[in-house]
């Protein structure tokens, strides 16, 4: 007897435990296998890019907090770097070091979140997530100490950073940096050898180096596929060229490699913070810029290596205090574009884990 | 590391703790340990005395019973079955007739077991949440009642108050049935579990078959739930459950068959009796059967690492996605109850049941069983707090390719050993069997892994390569060449 079956449509999201926000997958499934998939974005669209055209450059910084809300510092930094290049603003050296420290802290926090949710997507009942949240909490405490906010930091300014960290910041940071390697080893111990985790992530969602480049992937998704590309090395901004660090690169391009690349990157970030702490000079933490900064007419594309990849800001100035065009190149959106190709033909659980390993932030996708 | 030159000197004292009322309340919430250590001295003394008195009374009764002066009367509260039996005789003497007295005592027994199970369900929720919180460096429920003990009650009240929604397009009658249907087998299966020598509600001679039969009933309710919900998540969850239960009932049955072969009985009290007669746990003699039973049970009752039927990150809540209010609560309660039931069955079949090498003479056997149930339950919670989840095909492959063939092989081994044990009367033979089985387990598992071509994925652990130079595709190829 033969049985015939036809695909059925499963709506994953916009409210679903593993879509990490309001993101919707309309999946056509044959049993447990995905035969087709539509990715529907836009549920969190807040029209940031248009709103930004009505505000001054400094007033636009809070938008960058809310784009990638898990890596607000990196978003701040990207915009500030772009505007500084557009307007030719010099940044004091101390501010550059502070920027590196905060951007790297943010990277650790963001990767902790990414890896934690990935393991939760693989089915662990939130234990690794909560362990990783422990360090994330401490980092967010440091942010709160410095700028009063934990998530939407709004800390970087054009020409420096908003505040000098308070005196209690430095010992707390030292304590955190001293204990971080042990903590990271703790997660690694729990997960890297775990047979179930390996069975779920090894060989799943494989992106070859060619596909990763053709799909314009950036960040851990690209490095997991074996391409050594990191803007901190390739196009050093702030003071990354003076600091010593390495880029982790995966070997097979599967979910497990992306996980391991993130884990290793947190270690490298700890290294960066240590060096920046040791080398940070005295001096002012920002330069004075006019309240309404009027850059010369022109355009600029400034980019940073955010935890999710290349976060770019394309700004066009017409000489007025507000940008004529404000565009965000969101790494999440571009990394996500490869999901359909990865998911078709794979069972639903693999697609969920793959989505988790790409590490999207819907605020950034929809903007 | 040297301190940053720009950084001010270290702050002398630790940051002050958060002073908000909520923070203080959380910080000063009573904990069990704090309660025990900070209790006033008279309370401590009284508690210690009460505990001592309890055990002394038990020991005294145990001594007298062993001595033969008292022979299992109603005041022998180590075995409540004795008291109920005496009540039955007493009622019979008062002219109630055998049927009516049977019904009265049966009702008492049923209410006793059900209230115990219900009470344990309530406490079990609390235990699971607190334990998971401990695993996850959280605090867990500690607001409602002492140490948050009343939290499950509060949750139940909340769930009862909630509206029960019926999705549009759902089959109304079939949608209403499953929460009830799923509850019945979960309660029935407790029947033959022996809590003490005579304290078993339903000590039938086919207890083992009864347990297997009853535990497979719930799959029907789950499938009805998934089918009637008119929801693809629920349908997927139901399909997964059915596929998994059918696969995993086979290794469970085979492993329990080995138990029956060894003990020569399907009666649960006889299985416990065999273990206490030989002062040996069946779980030690047949470790693979114990493992099979435990692992397959996690699949049958949907617990990590095999909780794919309600895999939250994939299909939300599986078959009970559409249930709300107390109907969802019933599903959750049954899930917990089944975990406890598996604990009771594992303890009875493999871990000596209510006996503990003679200790059951001195303390109530049902307490020993409760401790064993808790131990198995703790293992379930521990697994849940630690492991990720398998994929459906991996889990099925594991059952069919690994568990079932090996279970059959070990059933053969058990049969041979059982017949040897029945014919040869040699002291210490059981220990030899134990050692042989332990060795055979290692050998069989290794051999079979080689046969099915399984390789430990430990070799699959690759650390990312570290590089300081960047580049595109060519750099990637260079790196890959260097790595291999």
Nearest CA in chain B to A19: B313
**3-state DSSP: chain A helix, strand, coil percent, rounded to 5?**
50, 15, 35
Note whether A192 contacts B461, CB cutoff 8 Å: yes
- The verdict on A145 touching B (C-beta cutoff 8 Å) is no
State the DSSP code for B2. P
A110 versus A202: the higher-pLDDT residue is A110
Nearest residue on chain A to B3, alpha-carbon basis:
A278
Listed in sequence order, the DSSP H helices in B28-94 are: 32-38, 41-67, 80-91
In this prediction, residue B469 carries a pLDDT of 78
How far apart are alpha carbons A49 and A365 in whole angstroms? Answer: 12
Instruction: Find, in chain A, the residue whose alpha carbon is nearest to that of B393.
Output: A347
The reply to whether A194 touches chain B by the CB within 8 Å rule is yes
Please state at what angle helix B172-188 crosses helix B325-350, rounded to 10 degrees: 30
Q: What is the mean pLDDT of residues B283-288?
A: 86
Residue of A nearest to B314 (CA): A349
**What does the pLDDT read at residue B484?**
43
Q: CA–CA separation, A115 vs A258, rounded Å? A: 9
CB of A292 within 8 Å of a chain B CB? The answer is no
Q: How far, in whole angstroms, is CA B39 from its chain's centroid? A: 33
pLDDT at B1 over 70: no
A16 contact B CB<8A: yes
Model pLDDT, residue A206: 87
- Tell me which chain A residues have a C-beta less than 8 angstroms from the C-beta of B475: 227-229
Look at residue A1 in the predicted model and tell me its pLDDT.
56
Select the residue from B464, B466, B484 to test the A interface by mutation, using most A Cβ atoms within 10 A.
B464
Q: Does A51 touch chain B (CB under 8 A)?
A: no
Which of B71-80, B371-380, B453-462 has the largest mean confidence?
B371-380
* Across A72-81, B123-132, B352-361, least confident range: B352-361
Domain boundaries, chain B: 162-453
pLDDT at B75: 58
Q: Report the gap between the CA of A78 and the closest CA in chain B (Å).
A: 20
- ipTM, two decimals, is 0.81
H or E segment to which residue B376 belongs: helix B365-386
Using the structure block, give the residue that is written with the tokens 């982790």.
A248
> CA-CA distance, B140 to A300, in Å (whole number)?
51
pLDDT at residue A314, rounded to an integer: 92
- Give A7-44 pLDDT, tens digit per residue: 888 888 787 877 777 888 888 888 788 888 888 888 88
DSSP-based three-state secondary structure for A207 = coil
Q: Does residue B28 sit in helix, strand or coil?
A: coil
Whole-angstrom distance, CA of residue B441 vs CA of residue A331: 51
pLDDT at A257 over 80: yes
Question: Per the structure block, which two tokens stand in for B104?
Answer: 């009265």
Assess B385–A contact: CB distance below 8 Å, yes or no: yes
Q: Does residue A209 surpass a pLDDT of 50?
A: yes
Which residue from B8, B468, B470 is facing A167, i.e. has the nearest CB?
B8
Q: Does A166 touch chain B (CB under 8 A)?
A: no
- pTM for the whole thing? 0.81
Interface of B with A in 212-251 (CB under 8 A): 232-233, 236, 239
Work out the angle at residue B454's Cα, subtended by the Cα atoms of residues B449 and B457, and round it to the nearest 5 degrees: 125
Q: B 131-190 residues with CB below 8 A of A?
A: 132, 135-138
> Closest residue of A to B312, CA-based?
A17
Q: Note whether B392 contacts A280, CB cutoff 8 Å.
A: no
pLDDT, average across residues B314-327: 81
Q: Which residues contact A99 (CB under 8 A, 6 or more apart)?
A: A77, A80, A91, A156, A161, A238
Nearest CB neighbour to A348, from listed B1, B314, B458? B314
Percent of chain A with pLDDT over 90: 7
Q: Which pLDDT score, from 0 to 100, does residue B483 have?
A: 47
Is A57's Cβ below 8 Å from some Cβ in B?
no
CB-based contact, B95 to chain A, within 8 Å: no
Q: Do B6 and A196 touch (CB under 8 A)?
A: no
More confident residue, B459 or A79: A79
pLDDT of residue B3: 46
- Sequence-distant (6+) residues with CB within 8 A of B477 are A209
pLDDT at residue A215 above 50?
A: yes
Provide the pLDDT for residue A169. Answer: 87
SS3 call for A157 = strand
Nearest to B473 among A194, A227, A250 (CB): A227
Pick from B1, B2, B4, B235 the residue to mutate for testing the A interface (most A CBs within 10 Å): B4
User: With an 8 Å Cβ cutoff, are B136 and A209 in contact?
Assistant: no
Per-residue pLDDT, averaged over A247-267, amounts to 88
Q: Which residue of B has its CA nearest to A192?
A: B461
**Can you read off the two tokens belonging to residue A341?**
């190709």
Domain ranges, ordered by start, for chain A = 8-366
Establish if B17 touches chain A: CB-CB under 8 angstroms. no
What is the reported pLDDT for B2? 46
- Determine the residue among A9, A26, A98, A123 to mutate to test chain B binding: the one whose Cβ has the most chain B Cβ atoms within 10 Å: A123
Please state, in angstroms and rounded to a whole number, the distance separating the CA atoms of residues B38 and B438: 47
Q: How confident is the model at residue B32 (pLDDT cuts 50, 70, 90)?
A: low
| Residue owning tokens 């234990």 | A127
pLDDT band at B461 (very low <50, low <70, confident <90, very high): low
Scanning the structure block, which residue is given the tokens 């005579």?
B198
Query: How many angstroms separate the most distant Cα atoms in chain B?
Result: 97
pLDDT band with cut points at 50, 70 and 90 for residue B29 = low
Residue B64: how many CB atoms within 10 A of its CB? 14
Asked if A167 and B8 touch (Cβ cutoff 8 Å), the reply is yes
Phi/psi of residue B101, nearest 5 degrees:
-65, -35
H helices of chain A, where?
Answer: 48-52, 61-67, 72-87, 93-121, 127-147, 169-191, 195-201, 209-214, 220-224, 231-234, 255-279, 331-336, 339-343, 348-358, 362-366
Q: Do B393 and A126 touch (CB under 8 A)?
A: no
Tens of pLDDT along A61-97?
A: 998 888 888 888 998 999 999 998 888 888 888 899 9
pLDDT tens for B71-95 read 555 556 666 777 777 777 788 777 7
> Regarding the domain delimited by A8-366, which CATH topology (the fold level of the hierarchy) does it fall under?
Cytochrome-c3 Hydrogenase; chain B (1.10.645)
Q: What's the pLDDT tens digit per position in A222-240? A: 888 888 888 888 888 888 8
- Which tokens in the block code for residue A267? 């270690």
């Amino acid at each position: 007897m033969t049985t015939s079956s036809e695909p059925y449509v499963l709506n994953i999201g916009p409210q679903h435990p593993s879509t990490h926000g309001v993101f919707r997958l309309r999946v056509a499934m044959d049993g447990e296998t995905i035969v087709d998939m539509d990715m529907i974005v836009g549920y969190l669209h807040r029209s940031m890019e248009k709103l930004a055209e009505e505000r001054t450059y400094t007033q636009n910084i809070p938008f960058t907090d809310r784009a990638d809300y898990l890596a607000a510092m990196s978003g701040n930094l990207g915009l500030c770097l772009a505007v500084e290049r557009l307007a030719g603003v010099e940044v004091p050296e101390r501010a550059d070091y502070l920027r590196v420290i905060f951007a790297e802290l943010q990277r650790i926090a963001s990767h902790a979140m990414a890896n934690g949710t990935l393991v939760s997507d693989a089915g662990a009942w939130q234990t690794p997530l909560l362990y990783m949240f422990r360090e994330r909490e401490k980092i967010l405490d440091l942010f709160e100490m410095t700028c009063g906010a934990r998530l939407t930091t709004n800390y970087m300014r054009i020409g420096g950073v908003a505040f000098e960290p308070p005196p209690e910041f430095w010992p707390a940071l030292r304590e955190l940096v001293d204990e971080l390697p042990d903590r990271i080893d703790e997660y690694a111990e729990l997960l890297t050898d775990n047979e179930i985790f390996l069975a779920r992530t090894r060989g799943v969602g494989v992106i070859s180096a060619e596909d990763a480049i053709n799909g314009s992937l950036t960040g851990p998704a690209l490095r997991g596929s074996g391409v050594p590309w990191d803007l901190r090395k390739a196009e050093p901004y702030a003071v990354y060229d003076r600091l010593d660090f390495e880029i982790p690169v995966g070997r097979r391009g599967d979910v497990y490699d992306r996980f391991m690349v993130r884990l290793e990157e947190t270690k490298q970030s700890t290294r960066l913070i240590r060096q920046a702490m040791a080398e940070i000079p005295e001096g002012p933490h920002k330069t004075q810029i006019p309240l309404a900064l009027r850059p010369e007419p022109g355009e600029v594309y400034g980019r940073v290596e955010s935890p999710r990849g290349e976060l770019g800001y394309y700004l066009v100035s017409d000489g007025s205090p507000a940008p004529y065009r404000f565009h965000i190149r969101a790494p999440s959106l571009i990394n996500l574009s490869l999901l359909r190709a990865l998911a078709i033909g794979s069972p639903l659980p693999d697609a969920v884990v793959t989505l988790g390993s790409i590490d999207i932030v819907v605020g950034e996708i929809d903007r | 590391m040297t301190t940053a030159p720009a950084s001010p000197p270290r702050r002398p004292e630790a940051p002050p703790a958060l002073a908000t009322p909520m923070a203080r309340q959380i910080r000063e919430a009573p904990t069990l340990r704090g309660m025990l250590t900070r209790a006033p001295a008279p309370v401590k003394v009284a508690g210690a005395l009460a505990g001592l008195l309890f055990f002394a009374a038990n020991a005294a009764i145990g001594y007298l019973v062993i001595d033969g002066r008292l022979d299992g009367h109603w005041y022998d509260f180590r075995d409540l079955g004795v008291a109920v039996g005496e009540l039955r005789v007493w009622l019979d003497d008062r002219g109630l007739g055998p049927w009516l007295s049977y019904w009265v005592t049966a009702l008492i027994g049923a209410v006793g077991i059900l209230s115990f199970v219900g009470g344990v369900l309530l406490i079990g929720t609390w235990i699971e949440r607190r334990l998971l919180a401990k695993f996850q460096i959280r605090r867990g429920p500690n607001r409602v009642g002492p140490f948050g003990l009343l939290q499950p009650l509060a949750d139940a009240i909340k769930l009862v108050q909630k509206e029960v929604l019926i999705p549009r397009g759902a089959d109304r009658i079939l949608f209403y049935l499953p929460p009830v249907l799923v509850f019945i087998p979960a309660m029935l299966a407790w029947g033959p579990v022996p809590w003490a020598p005579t304290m078993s509600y339903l000590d039938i001679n086919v207890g083992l078959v009864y347990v297997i039969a009853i535990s497979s009933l719930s799959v029907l309710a789950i499938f009805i739930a998934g089918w009637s919900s008119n929801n693809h998540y629920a349908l997927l969850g139901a399909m997964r459950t059915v596929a998994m239960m059918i696969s995993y009932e086979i290794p469970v049955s085979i492993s329990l068959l080995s138990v029956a072969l060894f003990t020569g009985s399907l009666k649960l009290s006889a299985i416990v009796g065999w273990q206490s007669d030989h002062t040996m746990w069946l779980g030690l003699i047949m470790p693979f059967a114990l493992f099979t039973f435990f692992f397959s049970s996690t699949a049958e009752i949907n617990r990590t690492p095999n909780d794919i039927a309600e895999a939250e990150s994939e299909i939300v809540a599986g078959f009970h996605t559409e249930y709300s209010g107390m109907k969802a609560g019933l599903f959750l309660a049954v899930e917990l109850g089944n975990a406890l039931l598996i604990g009771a069955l594992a303890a009875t079949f493999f871990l000596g049941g209510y006996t503990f090498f003679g200790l059951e003479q001195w303390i109530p056997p049902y307490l020993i069983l409760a401790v064993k149930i808790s131990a198995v339950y703790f293992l379930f919670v521990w697994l849940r707090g630690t492991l990720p989840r398998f994929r459906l095909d991996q889990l099925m492959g594991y059952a069919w390719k690994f568990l079932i063939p090996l279970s059959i092989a070990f059933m053969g081994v058990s049969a041979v050993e059982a017949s040897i044990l029945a014919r040869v009367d040699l002291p210490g033979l059981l220990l030899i069997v134990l050692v042989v089985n332990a060795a055979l387990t290692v050998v069989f598992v290794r051999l079979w892994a080689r046969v099915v071509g399984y390789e430990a994925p430990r070799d699959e652990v690759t650390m990312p390569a570290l590089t300081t130079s960047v580049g595109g595709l060519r750099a990637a190829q260079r790196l890959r060449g260097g790595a291999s």
